[in-house]
């Protein structure tokens, strides 16, 4: 039983990374209508940036994260401004193909810049150590991640519901034309929204460097569970993304313990079942 609890807790902490990517996907899709399959690649680039600054250049951990965010923010800006803006009104099939192409580009560019160098976990000294949970050592950093994930959730909720900018985002998400008609500058808003979405993914990547291995193929790999999460939670629902991430994180974790060989299959099966029975997910609306 204690194994179960421990594994579940592990699942929750790994779910936080999925949550961050899924949150980014949700913002990009909900506001801009872009289903960015390359969002996992933004996570990966965020990880590599943070890794470069912190481990290779020895810059302060927190500063490294901020620099990584800035880096990915610029990339996100370029993606939206020069590419996504042209395909907003095209059939979604082209969007999907375009963003798939970005996965190829990012994965390869990463390989070019960093070579086949892997990111090896390197814990900043003030996070080292563990606390005892059900009699087993649970890394402090993982606890930090859980709190960070929840904090991001609260932060997002606050922004969307309490700030003027957040209200504009929600307006654009529910009715683009109407928002335009009442004077909201859609193009700039979209750019900012996408940058914000990219930052979320990058934050996930940056925070993952102390405990996770990362290579240039991660971009294409991590997007799949993130996708599953958004589908389960409901495309366009942040609440759904959080809940979905928790579900997938915990289920994956439990699966690796008891049924390791069918973990991937179960993941896709859940995704398929949700898509068949209730495509709008737990919290989503029918689009």
Partner 1 sequence: MNSARNISTTLGLGNSKFGLICLSSFIIFLLLLPLFSSDYLLYVVMRIAILCLLSYSLNLLLGYTGLLSFGQAGFYACGAYACGKILLGGASLLPGIFIAMVVGGIVAIILGYFCVRHTAIYFAMLTLAFGMMIFSLAEKWIKFTGGDDGLVGIPRANLSFFHIFSVEMNKVPAYYYFVIIISLVAIYLLYRIIHSPLGLIFQGIRDSEKRIAFIGISVKKSRLACFTIAGIYASLAGALFAPLEQTVTPTVAHWVTSMDPIIATLLGGMYSFTGPVVGSVIYFLVKDIIVRITMSWMLILGIIIVILVLAFRGGIMGFLHLWLFHRWK
CB of 202 to partner 1, least distance (A): 20
CB of 137 to partner 1, least distance (A): 32
Closer residue to partner 1, CB minimum distance, 4 or 265: 265
* DSSP 8-state class, residue 28: I
Residues at the interface with partner 1 (CB under 8 A): 35, 83, 86-87, 91-94, 96-98, 100-105, 107-109, 111-112, 220, 224, 227-228, 231, 235, 261-262, 264-265, 268-269, 271-272, 275-276, 279, 287
**Strand-pair partners of 138:** 131
Q: Are 29 and 190 in contact (CB under 8 A)?
A: no
Closer residue to partner 1, CB minimum distance, 57 or 113: 113
Closer residue to partner 1, CB minimum distance, 44 or 207: 44
CB of 284 to partner 1, least distance (A): 11
Q: How many CB atoms sit inside 10 A of residue 131's CB?
A: 11
Instruction: Annotate 179-244 with three-state secondary structure.
Output: HHHCCCCHHHHHHHHHHHHHHHHHHHHHHHCCCCCECCCHHHHHHHHHHHHHHHHCCCCHHHHHHH
Closer residue to partner 1, CB minimum distance, 12 or 235: 235
CB of 7 to partner 1, least distance (A): 21
* DSSP 8-state class, residue 69: H
- For 112, list phi and psi in degrees, rounded to 5: -70, -50
Closer residue to partner 1, CB minimum distance, 207 or 274: 274
Question: SS3 of 6, please?
Answer: helix
CB of 279 to partner 1, least distance (A): 5
- Show the DSSP H helices in 28-60 as ranges: 39-51
Closer residue to partner 1, CB minimum distance, 74 or 101: 101
Closer residue to partner 1, CB minimum distance, 6 or 84: 84
CB of 104 to partner 1, least distance (A): 3
* DSSP 8-state class, residue 116: T
- Owner of token pair 């495309």: 235
Report the alpha-carbon distance of residue 150 to residue 36 in Å, rounded.
Answer: 23
Q: Kindly state the tokens that stand for 92.
A: 């979604």
CB of 252 to partner 1, least distance (A): 13
CB of 127 to partner 1, least distance (A): 35
Closer residue to partner 1, CB minimum distance, 130 or 273: 273
Report the alpha-carbon distance of residue 187 to residue 177 in Å, rounded.
Answer: 12
* DSSP 8-state class, residue 137: E
Q: Are 198 and 79 in contact (CB under 8 A)?
A: yes
């Amino acid at each position: 039983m204690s194994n179960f609890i421990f594994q579940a807790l592990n699942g929750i902490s790994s779910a936080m990374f999925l949550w961050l990517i899924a949150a980014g996907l949700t913002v990009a899709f909900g506001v801009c209508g872009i289903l960015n399959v390359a969002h996992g690649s933004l996570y990966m680039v965020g990880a590599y940036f943070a890794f470069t600054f912190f481990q290779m250049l020895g810059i302060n951990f927190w500063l490294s994260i901020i620099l990584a965010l800035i880096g990915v923010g610029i990339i996100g800006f370029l993606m939206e401004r020069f590419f996504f803006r042209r395909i907003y009104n095209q059939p979604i099939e082209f969007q999907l193909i375009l963003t798939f192409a970005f996965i190829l580009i990012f994965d390869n560019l990463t390989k070019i810049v960093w070579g086949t160098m892997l990111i090896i976990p390197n814990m900043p000294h003030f996070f080292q150590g563990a606390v005892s949970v059900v009699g087993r050592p649970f890394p402090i950093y993982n606890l930090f991640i859980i709190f960070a994930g929840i904090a991001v959730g609260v932060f997002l909720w606050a922004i969307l519901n309490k700030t003027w900018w957040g209200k504009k985002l929600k307006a654009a998400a529910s009715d683009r034309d109407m928002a335009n008609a009442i004077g909201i500058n859609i193009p700039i808003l979209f750019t900012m929204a996408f940058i914000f979405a990219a930052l979320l993914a990058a934050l996930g990547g940056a925070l993952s460097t102390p405990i996770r291995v990362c290579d240039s193929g991660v971009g294409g790999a991590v997007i799949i569970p993130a996708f599953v999460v958004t589908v389960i939670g409901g495309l366009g629902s942040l609440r759904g993304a959080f809940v979905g991430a928790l579900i997938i994180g915990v289920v994956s974790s439990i699966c690796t313990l008891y049924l390791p060989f069918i973990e991937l299959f179960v993941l896709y099966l859940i995704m398929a079942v949700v898509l068949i029975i209730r495509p709008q997910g737990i919290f989503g609306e029918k689009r």
